[in-house]
Amino acid sequence: MNILVTGGNGQLGNCLRNAVKGSKDNYIFTDVAELDITDAKSVRQMVMDNDVKVIVNCAAYTNVDKAEDDTELAELLNATAVRNLAEAVKENGGTLIQISTDYVFGKEPYNVPCREDQKGTPTGVYGLTKLHGEQQIAESGVRSLIFRTAWLYSEYGRNFVKTMLALTSTKPQLKVVFDQAGTPTYAQDLADAIFHIIENRKMEGNEGIYHYSNEGVCSWFDFTKSIAELAGNTSCDIQPCHSDEFPSKVIRPSYSVLDKSKFKQTFGMKVPYWTDSLKTCIKNLKENEA
């Protein structure tokens, strides 16, 4: 089976490259240089020429703050392009696997993990355009699996873990918000889960929206403390602070923990605890430095 992965040079795309080594299927990894997903004709040509039966869409506009001023491009990449992928793979009788986000929630004051059937109440353009992408998929009628994830990090690209590793190793003091709670997610864990589902043909009959993040819950402050401790960056004094001490154009969700019960029940897979996965990532980053 031929599988197209868009956004192949991003965090999740790179982790998928690791996951699919030795697969019985043929994975085609593309990024913007190879395929412009905002061009419906190019997407359709790619799908038809390669008889693509599954698309894993890892491409997105993910700069949360910049999206507030770049609304049109965010909508183009996070919604219109998703429609292009959905229509093309539907025409070829295939399935779309879409990556969405915890940012589709946030406006309502939650204090229990968010379920898949909960109404989306995004607080900014990024979350709104990702929600529009989900709606485009539903309207297209394509067979699909949507995975909402959160606080994604990895050994690749720019992410919170790599930023905090650098800051806690060089700064004497650091302030990090403690009034936003969620769950860090190691992109390799999500990539492995997606690969397992495709490799074992668990897409059929299990279409729908799923939540996937690592197990547990923490604030950005707790996350940073764990990063520093695991890396041995003990000289940095990390202090908790409120979100309003860091003015931003977008209001981030104060609580966006995702309920993963549906994912675990449907696919019978164990989800790693966030600190266990963080240890693995930091160990790999340290080894890569050596």
Residues belonging to the active site: 126
Q: Are strands 26-29 and 2-6 parallel, antiparallel or unpaired?
A: parallel
CA dist 173 and 152 (Å) reads 25
Which backbone phi and psi does 19 adopt, to 5 degrees? Answer: -65, -35
CA dist 289 and 53 (Å) reads 38
The Cα-based distances of 204 to 57, 76, 94, 143, 167 in angstroms read 18, 29, 10, 8, 45
The Cα-based distances of 77 to 32, 50, 68, 74, 88 in angstroms read 11, 23, 14, 5, 16
Please list the helix, strand and coil fractions of the chain in percent, rounded to the nearest 5, in that order. 45, 20, 40
Strand ranges inside the chain, DSSP E: 2-6, 26-29, 52-57, 95-101, 143-149, 152-153, 173-177, 181-182, 185-186, 208-211, 218-219, 237-241
The residue to which tokens 């930023």 are assigned: 163
Tell me, what DSSP letter sits at residue 214? -
Which backbone phi and psi does 268 adopt, to 5 degrees? Answer: 60, 35
